[in-house]
């Protein structure tokens, strides 16, 4: 195996025996083969789209398949084997459609030589395993070509995750699917460096588009988030703990548990759901339990009731953990031994009865903490405060906004973000989205004229909200460049959705982003140099020095 898609990869170079995340070599190889298979789909999809053929069904499948390969999403080898088999079937059906359309248009057979991912066929399980072991990242020998291909592929993984979230709520954009296919297909060809760089930048454009689509899907379905205090304590009823990012799963779980005497608690990236008006009507949505994804072993063990993982951020169980018998997955998440809730049938809800039955047999959760936390500062809510914000900026009450969006992680180096939050002067406001907030969102930093000093926009995809706010402030303050705003970007990354967010910010013209705890291992020195020179991307430094520089606009 060779995997360097997450921030915690070994020695910031790549995991070669077992992932730092816990991913076994066999699972890593199967993920590589699934990516290889969907690249084969993309080759035909790109050509089919050029002939005007619809590719929505294939695009939807590719988005879901790549979502399964995101860090900490799916650990179940059987699911990957099944996905590979489905991918080959999708590819062959698309191939036949394309070839028929080509013959009809050109009056001749298609003769173009195609790359190996478009031609590979599984002969046996042994063939599958052998192929899986030789189609990974290192199959591209040139370091800089490999770096650009992987930067694009990893960014597309993030786009796919957001596209799947939006599709679940009925919002799909064929243009996004076409770009996914174009980008993946490009990695099967030898292209000039400038074309590869252009595709990476195009990924930033489509990252903005997909986050906009998901924002629309969420707010159309559940309303615009509003500032909301969320309880951190527990009640005396048995409970269900739901984690991940899928709001529709939460909706259906709340509907099916209403009046049952069972409470529902959010965990990790599901915390922002409390701010949506559609969810606030459920009295049994009890609060948020625990913190960031990497502390889930202890927190899931303490919860006592069933835990439902709807997306990525599921970490391996430790030998002493006993909650596997009450762990459930759904969507593209999976774990060996956990019970999996199947996808919903058309026009129906998912069936969470097994989760509910487990809750009825469970003791109430053990209390980890008390108090409340405020969420819900997505773009619509912040823009309602625009006059107050502009007045505070004009008066000097707010001197600087610091965007500390992104991911949390296990490494001690992430205490940097806690220290930055503590070190920021009282006239600085933190804008955040994603699980990075768990490094500082319980510090009690106070307010500035009624404006909380930590404005939490929501999940990682809600980093889009922060971009909307920045662009609106630029307009209100009469500035011609977003980089002239009193805003600094100090972004934490961990997995592939954060890479999509980074590319989105670059597409929007944001420069001078501090990125940490490390720069991505998949950036070769030459590619990193291009990003540094063009966008002034910087590694993080010492907290106090970085705070001083940011407060001076550097």
Q: What is the CATH number of the domain that holds 94?
A: 1.20.1270.20
Domain boundary among 190, 205, 221: 221
Q: What does the pLDDT read at residue 125?
A: 80
167-217 tens-digit pLDDT:
999 999 999 999 999 999 999 999 999 999 999 999 999 999 999 999 999
| Within-domain flag for 370 | no
Neighbouring-strand partners of residue 516: 492
Under the banding of pLDDT at 50, 70 and 90, the label for residue 486 is: very high
pLDDT category of residue 124 using cuts at 50, 70 and 90:
confident
Mean pLDDT of 141-165: 98
Structural domain includes residue 191: yes
Asked if 53 and 142 sit in the same domain, the reply is yes
User: Looking at the domain assignment, is residue 367 inside a domain?
Assistant: no
User: Quick one: tokens of 90?
Assistant: 């999708």
Claim to verify: residue 408 and residue 310 sit in the same structural domain:
no
Q: What is the CATH number of the domain that holds 326?
A: 3.40.50.2030
In the structure encoding, which two tokens stand for residue 314, read together?
A: 């599921």
pLDDT at res. 123: 74
pLDDT at 521 over 80: yes
Q: Count of alpha carbons within 13 Å of 29, Cβ hemisphere only?
A: 15
Is the domain of 339 the same as that of 404? no
Instruction: Identify whether 145 is part of a domain.
Output: yes
Predicted local distance difference test score (pLDDT) of residue 547: 98
User: Per-residue pLDDT for 153 more than 90?
Assistant: yes
Strand partners for 151? none
DSSP letters of 395-423?
HTS--EEEE--B---SSGGGHHHHHHHHH
User: Burial of 475 by CB count in 10 Å (0-12 exposed, 13-18 middle, 19+ buried)?
Assistant: exposed
Q: Which domain holds residue 147?
A: 10-221
Mean pLDDT of the chain: 96
> Once rounded to an integer, what is the mean pLDDT over residues 428-453?
96
Residue 2: inside a domain: no
In the listed set 330, 360, 390, which residue is the last one of a domain according to the structure? 360
Q: Is 207 found in the same domain as 317?
A: no
Domain count, the chain: 3
- pLDDT tens per residue across span 357-414: 999 999 999 999 999 999 999 999 999 998 899 999 999 999 999 999 999 999 999 9
Whether 123 and 101 map to the same domain: the answer is yes
Residue 365 domain flag:
no
Which whole number is the average pLDDT over 465-487?
91
Is 80 exceeded by the pLDDT of residue 149? yes
Evaluate whether residue 5 is within a structural domain.
no
Same domain (yes/no): 449, 351: no
For 237-266, the pLDDT digits (tens) are 999 999 999 999 999 999 999 999 999 999
Strands 454-456 vs 372-375: parallel, antiparallel or unpaired: unpaired
Query: Is residue 127 very low, low, confident or very high in pLDDT (cuts 50, 70, 90)?
Result: confident
* Among 540, 544, 433, 430, residue whose Cα is nearest residue 487: 430
Flag whether 368 is in a domain. no
């Amino acid at each position: 195996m060779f995997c360097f898609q997450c921030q915690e990869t070994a020695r910031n170079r790549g995991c070669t025996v077992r992932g730092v995340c816990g991913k076994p070599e066999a699972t890593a190889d199967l993920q590589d083969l699934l990516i290889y298979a969907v690249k084969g789909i993309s080759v035909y999809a790109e050509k089919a789209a050029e002939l005007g053929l619809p590719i929505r069904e294939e695009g939807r499948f590719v988005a879901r398949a790549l979502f399964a390969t995101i860090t900490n999403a799916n650990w179940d080898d059987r699911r990957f084997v099944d996905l590979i088999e489905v991918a080959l079937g999708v590819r062959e059906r698309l191939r036949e459609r394309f070839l028929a359309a080509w013959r009809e248009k050109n009056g001749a057979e298609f003769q173009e030589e195609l790359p190996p991912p478009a031609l590979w066929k599984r002969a046996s399980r042994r063939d599958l395993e052998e192929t899986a072991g030789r189609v990974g990242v290192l199959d591209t020998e040139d370091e800089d070509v490999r770096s650009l291909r992987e930067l694009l592929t990893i960014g597309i993984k993030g786009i796919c995750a957001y596209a799947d979230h939006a599709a679940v709520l009925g919002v799909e954009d064929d243009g996004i699917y076409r770009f996914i296919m174009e980008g993946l297909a490009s990695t099967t060809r030898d292209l000039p460096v400038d074309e590869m760089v252009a595709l990476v930048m195009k990924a930033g454009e489509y990252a903005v588009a997909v986050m906009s689509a998901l924002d629309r899907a969420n707010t159309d379905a559940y309303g615009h988030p509003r500032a909301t205090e969320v309880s951190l304590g527990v009640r005396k009823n048995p409970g269900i703990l739901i984690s991940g990012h899928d709001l529709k799963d939460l909706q259906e779980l709340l509907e099916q548990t209403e009046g049952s005497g069972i409470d529902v608690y959010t965990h990790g990236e599901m915390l922002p759901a409390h701010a949506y008006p559609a969810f606030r009507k459920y009295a049994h949505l009890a609060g948020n339990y625990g913190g960031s994804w990497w502390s889930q072993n202890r927190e899931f063990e303490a919860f006592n009731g069933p835990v439902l993982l709807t997306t990525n951020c599921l970490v391996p169980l430790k030998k002493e953990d006993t909650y596997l018998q009450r762990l459930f997955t759904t969507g593209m998440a999976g774990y060996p031994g956990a019970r999996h809730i199947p996808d919903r049938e058309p026009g129906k809800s998912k069936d969470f009865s097994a989760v509910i039955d487990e809750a009825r047999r469970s003791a109430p959760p053990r209390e980890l903490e008390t108090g409340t936390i405020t969420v819900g500062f997505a773009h619509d809510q912040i823009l309602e405060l625009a006059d107050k914000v502009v007045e505070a900026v004009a008066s000097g009450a707010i001197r600087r906004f610091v965007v500390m969006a992104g991911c949390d992680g296990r490494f001690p180096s992430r205490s940097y973000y806690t220290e930055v939050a503590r070190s920021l002067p009282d006239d600085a406001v933190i804008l955040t989205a994603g699980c990075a907030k768990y490094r500082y969102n319980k510090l009690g930093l106070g307010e500035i004229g009624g404006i909380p000093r930590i404005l939490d926009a929501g999940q990682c995809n809600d980093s889009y909200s922060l971009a909307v706010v920045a662009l609106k402030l630029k307009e209100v303050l009469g500035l011609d460049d977003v980089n002239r705003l009193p805003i600094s970007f100090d972004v934490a990354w961990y997995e592939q959705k954060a890479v999509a967010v980074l590319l989105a910010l670059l597409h929007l013209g944001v420069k001078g982003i501090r990125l940490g705890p490390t720069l991505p291992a998949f950036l070769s020195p030459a590619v990193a140099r291009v990003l540094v020179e063009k966008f002034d991307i910087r590694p993080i430094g010492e907290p106090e020095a970085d705070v001083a520089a940011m407060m001076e606009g550097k």
